[in-house]
Structure 1
Amino acid sequence: MRAKRLRLLCLPCAGASATMYLRWKRWLPEWVEVHPVELPGRGERLGEPLIDTFETQVVRLCEEQATRLRGDFALFGHSMGALLAYGMAARLRDVGRPQPCMLFASGSAAPSMRDPQRFAGLDSDEALIADLRQQGGTPEAVFESPELLRLTLDMLAADYRLCDSFRYRAKPPLPCPVQVLAGRDDDIEGERLEAWRRETEGAFSLEWFEGGHFFIRQQEERVLEAVARTLEERTAKDFHAATTAT
């Protein structure tokens, strides 16, 4: 059975724009409509002010993406993007709106297990540059261009403030299933990834990939295969449940 069409909203990591997902439009199956989500202050929204508080960004995202957050849709986020995707799903639940058919949390500890010291000391350009190099994934051309580096550091600083503003509040688990993707060489411990299991009353899975924090670039083909497989299985289950009910 051919999977039915659905929208996949993709949220970027800290310091990045929607362009990190552009290739996915060509590489995922045609029935998956990839929608890279551009946050204010970057890419085609460069002229807009950066948002550096979690709740403000989540509310804005749910408002701006309202027409896509209907019918069959899924959320994918890497690192900061995973936290935003979780925030969106939680807000949709709280206001009684439809849930995604799947929440993909990539390269991110569970909301209840975030490191409170992760952003300590990252309050200067020098510290941010060192952090960028440690994380990997930033093209060398960015470091060589004063203009690109300035834009990146400003985005990164705002995004780190956004992540640091997140406060976990224990609430009922999400109705939607959660799949966690992780790099074996990332510094996020397995127990902090497994803790995502407590955030869903649906199915949970954790899939490992070779590579560090930016395994989604290092292992992009395998990541996309996993995403497509999961979405196909999920839509097939939903179709079977719907036909059985009727």
Structure 2
Amino acid sequence: MSRPIDLLALPCAGASATLYARWPRALPDWLRLRPLELPGRGARMDEPRVEDFDRLVTLLCQEIQPRGPYVLFGHSMGALLAHGIARRLHAARRAMPLALLVSGSPAPSRRDSARYADLDDAALLADLRRHGGTPEAVLAHPELRRLTLDTLAADYRVCASFSYRQTALLPLPIHAFAGRQDDIGAASVEAWGGETTGSFALDWFDGGHFFIRQHEDAVIAAVVRALGPLAATPRHDRPAPRAAATSRPG
């Protein structure tokens, strides 16, 4: 019998918790989706956006109050935030997630923060279209386009404010997900394995940066497969050997 696990999911830059709106229908009963909404969007639209990485991680750590076993999942900027949260919780000796799942993101040590600094509307629009995650109907609507660009710009400032610092490795499994046609290089994704003393695994999917939407059912199935053994294993009995299981792109 599988024990229940909460799946705390963080959105990518410019997005809200609705990124995961269709996930519950495909998840088993033991895996309970708990989307983490960021200030300034969705259900938290009336709150001011937080545009600094460390301040946002601090806020999210304050808001996370685990009721039992949980894992962290994040796509793109969400992966960076999930890693920052896990690091902060580990340093504070707070209840840690069973695993860290990261999607569509280079490892923190491979991120180019300067790439997100001081982008104008034209550059932001070019990024949105290159990644393909925003419907053209949204970009064609003046008010929706303005809201999308403002949210993306705020999130890019979060990314620009990130500075990688070498700290203790995380004592938990890390599982990465990546798109074969994304412009993030394989070595930058594989570098996630250097962030943990536990196991590391990597699944590749066809598609670009938003493979998570293009192949949503396959991604969800991979998440369930990755977490299945944790649902069946009490945390204090769970081994944490150093290992690597990486499916190469091809």
- Which bin holds the TM-score, normalised by the shorter protein? over 0.9
SS at match of 1:181: strand
Q: Does 1:105 align with 2:135?
A: no
- Residue by residue, what CA displacement relative to the aligned partner does 1:93-112 show, whole Å, maximum 9, x if unpaired? 00001111110010000001
- How far the C-alpha of 1:117 sits from its partner, in A, is 4.0
Q: 1:179 aligns with which of 171, 175, 181?
A: 175
Q: Counterpart in 1 of 2:142?
A: 146
- Output the CA distance in 1 between the equivalents of 2:212 and 2:229: 21
Q: Counterpart in 2 of 1:234?
A: 230
- Output the CA distance in 1 between the equivalents of 2:123 and 2:20: 27
Give runs of aligned pairs for residues 2-17 of structure 1, distance below 5 A.
2-17=1-16
Q: Does 1:131 align with 2:127?
A: yes
Which stretches in structure 1 are left out of the alignment for 5+ residues? none
- How far the C-alpha of 1:141 sits from its partner, in A, is 1.8
- Output the CA distance in 2 between the equivalents of 1:48 and 1:136: 27
Q: Does 1:93 align with 2:67?
A: no
Provide the TM-score with structure 2 as the length reference.
0.92
- Residue by residue, what CA displacement relative to the aligned partner does 1:108-151 show, whole Å, maximum 9, x if unpaired? 000011124422552x1111111110111111221121111111
Provide the TM-score with structure 1 as the length reference.
0.93
Q: Give the % identical residues.
A: 55
- Give the AA of the match of 2:70: F
Runs of 4+ in 1 over 3 A off after TM superposition: 237-240
Which stretches in structure 2 are left out of the alignment for 5+ residues? 239-250
- Output the CA distance in 1 between the equivalents of 2:143 and 2:113: 31
Do the aligned partners of 1:12 and 1:80 also contact (CA within 8 Å) in 2? Answer: yes
Do the aligned partners of 2:113 and 2:159 also contact (CA within 8 Å) in 1? Answer: no
Q: Counterpart in 1 of 2:45?
A: 46
Q: Counterpart in 1 of 2:80?
A: 83
Q: How many residues align?
A: 238
RMSD: 1.4
Do the aligned partners of 2:98 and 2:235 also contact (CA within 8 Å) in 1? Answer: no
Q: Counterpart in 1 of 2:241?
A: none
